[in-house]
Chains A and B, each alone.
Chain A
Amino acid sequence: MSRVHDLIYNTFFKRNSAFVATCFVGAFAFQISFDLGTTAWWDYHNRGKQWKDLRAKYIQAGDSAEE
């Protein structure tokens, strides 16, 4: 167990450059994952109400009438 912690410490925490770089990379990853996650939740919460869900209905109906 302490081997794992030593490995983590030596990889990420020992050098400040690695620590800061890890923080910045982690910030990017966190933002992307956070955006994806919240968007997925929002779509799930509003499923069946958004235009992308309803589009198929109206495009089919309007296709022959308009064009």
Chain B
Amino acid sequence: MAASIARVNLLPTSRTLASGVPLAPRINNAIPTGLAGGDHGHHGSAARSDVPAAWTFKSTARGHVGRTNALPTSSSYQQRFLSTTPTRSASHPMAATTGTHRTSATGVPDFTPYKAKNAGLNRTVSYFMVGGLGVLGASGIKSTVSDILSNMAASADVLALAKIEVEMGAIPEGKNLIVKWRGKPVFIRHRTSDEIDEANAVDVKSLRDPENDADRTQRPEWLVMLGVCTHLGCVPIGEAGDYGGWFCPCHGSHYDISGRIRRGPAPLNLEIPEYTFNDDEEKIVVG
């Protein structure tokens, strides 16, 4: 019974080579490259001691393909080959030659060389690039906006014309001076005390545009007004009209000695510009 169970699954040696080594065809005793042992933790990568030397057999297998030949014992058999070696040599770029593990037989490459060495550095660099673009964009927008605003701002020659100075000593009492300011005439009258009294004597409630004379002047003896009729923009004539002030010749508006509208089509008193007194230099600064 025991004899019938026995299996002979290797071909017997058929002959002896000239070197005295028995020939076993179709049996590859070579250890496949990469599976030779030493790379995964063992000390030394020398060949295994229990492997027969290369000259002891003749391999019919080529290169790195190892085959295990399993033969049935029946008389009519077919050879079956199982590939037990990955078809990739150790010199392949995808193979980890220095790593702890070789690529597996499933063919999944080893991506260890491509993994980030320092994830924190990668993250910092990524955010820095985004932030750097933000910095450049923000400075560009700021430059554009400030350029547009400075383009709209008044230029130096316009600003130089924005203010005028009038010497107070050049205007005797009871006289008008007309100066041009920002393209418009400005009336400056040095009023006498009689004219001031006359302006104050008017009943404000009876006026079309009720304003006190004190509200229209900073100093009663100096009256500074825009010389533009509030009706249609003509320039009134000084020391004329029924009320001793200004008279607009276009449509007959009469202004009194405080520049208030008294008769005619104009709806409002003559406008008061911004002005200040410079007492050190005896000047009125309009604007």
Contacts and interface: CB of A to CB of B under 8 A. Distances in A.
Interface of A: 1-2, 4-6, 8-9, 12-13, 19-20, 22-24, 26-28, 30-31, 34
B120 A27 contact: no
A31 B142 contact: yes
Nearest to A14: B127
Q: Which 9 A-B pairs have the closest CB atoms?
A: A5-B120, A27-B138, A23-B134, A2-B120, A27-B139, A13-B127, A26-B135, A5-B124, A31-B139
Contacts of B119: 2
Contacts of B276: none
- What range describes how many residues of B lie at the interface? 10 to 19
Contact of B124 (A8, A22, A28): A8
Contacts of B131: 12-13, 19, 22-23, 26
B225 to A, nearest CB: 43
B127 A1 contact: no
B139 A30 contact: yes
Interface of B: 118-121, 123-124, 127, 131, 134-136, 138-139, 142-143
Nearest to B146: A31
A30 B131 CA distance: 13
Nearest to B138: A27
A34 B135 CA distance: 12
B124 to A, nearest CB: 5
A9 to B, nearest CB: 6
Nearest to A34: B139
A30 B135 contact: yes
Given A1-B118, A12-B131, A19-B131, A24 B138 contact: yes
